[in-house]
Amino acid sequence: MSTTSTSQKPEIFEELDPSPRLLMGPGPVDLYPRVLRAMSVPIQGQFDPEFRRYMMQTMALYRQVFKTANQQTFMIDGTARAGLEACMHSIIAPGDKVLVPIFGRFGHLLTEIAKRARAEVISMECEWGQVFKPGEIADAVARHKPRMVAMCQGDTSATVLHPVDEAGEACRRHGAILFVDVTASLAGNPFETDGWKVDIVAAGLQKCLSGPPGIAPVTFNERVVEILMHRRHIEAGIRPVDMVEGNGPIIQSNYFDLAMIMEYWDPKALNHHTEAASMLYAARECARAVLEEGLDKGIARHQLTSKALRAGLEAMGLGIFGDRKHLMSNVTGVVIPKASKSPDKVRAELLEDFGLEIGTSFGPLHGKIWRIGTMGYVCRKANVLRCLSSLETVLRRNGYKAPPGAGVDAAYEVYDDAQR
Ligand SMILES: Cc1ncc(COP(=O)(O)O)c(C=O)c1O
């Protein structure tokens, strides 16, 4: 028997009205206002010629963002992880060897996805906050001759940016496919798909592109297309009569089948899925925003902002986590001072009293560092100064006394120097 009273009306809750926040964690971050506006324009169906034009424009824009001539440059609907799954499941056949260099949490995620694709996974791990020594990844590729090398460029959990070009060379030499996850780094750090011989790349919008999580830009070259064509399969009901099936093992996932999605994005317009139209508009506007600023100018803005933030944190007597030569320009790991009584209370007070979100950390770094993001629209002087002064105040209330004003003064100095 139901215990719900029939006289009680089911609740419909209040209209959404989220408190204003400044999102300075490791992502998501605040959206460019123009991206929010783009998401509110009317949607169209994915076969409307006008909408097809927006799709083709989005492809062309992301070729510029990814620095590639790859025809196959498009969106996977879903968060960044959807892009990773599509790229990995579409290439890896059961039993394939996959080499995963791990230097943070997201390397473990790539290992997990490869295992679920029933790969024989060879993982190599270095201490979080460090990168592999030159030659280490190339040696492992030569030794194991994997089908695929899967790695992150920037791992937000460890705040470091890994060189990718060495892996690109090694993969070409030994016939492997190089897959790189640039979710956390794209548009805030230099990246060259073609120049660094990266075969397949996946990203997300919610970091330096300052868009909403929910759509994943990917790009891949003809080496990947060849693999996909061997695994080509289209479900009955939409399969063209003259279609030739691939002779390789079928891709396990229908939704994440890059061979089909490729045909959905080309003039054949295969009816694979319903486009997440508002997300496509967001992706298109994010790319327009970063390209209008200029990729190099945007990267320089991220570099200057993190330099100012780090100078401020150090002037407050706080340590910066990770190998200084390899830090990402958009996420800073701050060593939690011993004198601060409760790291979680510091974050909670920043959020509740100052409306400012910073990030905690995972695995071996849990309780050791906070992570502060300076990405995309958030990556600005005013936010750095606001973050430093709020943090100084909250730390003082929680047992750690930084020299008053030193953080903001040091950050100002970096900005003043950059003007000279
Ligand atoms: C490097 C990296 N890869 C993948 C992801 C997963 O993204 P999502 O949570 O959008 O699926 C993240 C998210 O923070 C990330 O930083």
Helix, strand, coil fractions of the chain, as percent rounded to 5: 40, 15, 45
Give the residue, out of 23, 111, 156, with the most ligand 1 atoms within 8 A of its beta carbon, to mutate for a pocket test.
Answer: 156
List the alpha helices (DSSP H) in 294-342.
295-315
The answer to whether the CB of 79 is under 6 A from ligand 1 is yes
Mean pLDDT (the chain) is 96
Distance between Cα 27 and ligand 1 center (Å): 8
**Cα separation of 67 and 75, whole Å?**
16
In this predicted structure, the answer to whether residue 7 has a pLDDT above a threshold of 80 is no
Q: Which two tokens stand for residue 328?
A: 């990402």
- Which ligand 1 atom is at minimum distance from the Cα of 204? 10
The answer to whether the CB of 188 is under 6 A from ligand 1 is no
**Cα separation of 171 and 177, whole Å?**
6
Alpha carbon 306 to chain centroid distance? 18
In the prediction, which pLDDT does 270 show?
Answer: 93
pLDDT band, residue 406 (cuts 50/70/90): very high
The answer to whether the CB of 155 is under 6 A from ligand 1 is yes
Percentage of the chain modeled with pLDDT above 90: 95
In the prediction, which pLDDT does 3 show?
Answer: 54
The answer to whether the CB of 156 is under 6 A from ligand 1 is yes
In the prediction, which pLDDT does 259 show?
Answer: 97
- Say which residues have a Cβ less than 8 Å from residue 316's Cβ, sequence separation at least 6: 388, 391, 392, 395, 402, 403, 406, 407
**Residue for token digits 């926040």?**
21
In this predicted structure, the answer to whether residue 283 has a pLDDT above a threshold of 60 is yes
pLDDT band, residue 340 (cuts 50/70/90): confident
Q: Which two tokens stand for residue 74?
A: 């498009």
The answer to whether the CB of 213 is under 6 A from ligand 1 is yes
**Cα separation of 111 and 238, whole Å?**
34
At 315-329, the pLDDT tens digits run: 999 999 999 999 999
Domain range 295-419, CATH class: alpha beta
**Residue for token digits 């009569």?**
241
Q: Average pLDDT in the 31-36 region?
A: 98
CATH architecture of 33-291: 3-Layer(aba) Sandwich (3.40)
Is the overall model pTM greater than 0.95, yes or no?
yes
The answer to whether the CB of 277 is under 6 A from ligand 1 is no
Q: What angle do CA 203, 20, 361 make, to 5 degrees?
A: 50
Q: Where are the domains of the chain?
A: 33-291, 295-419
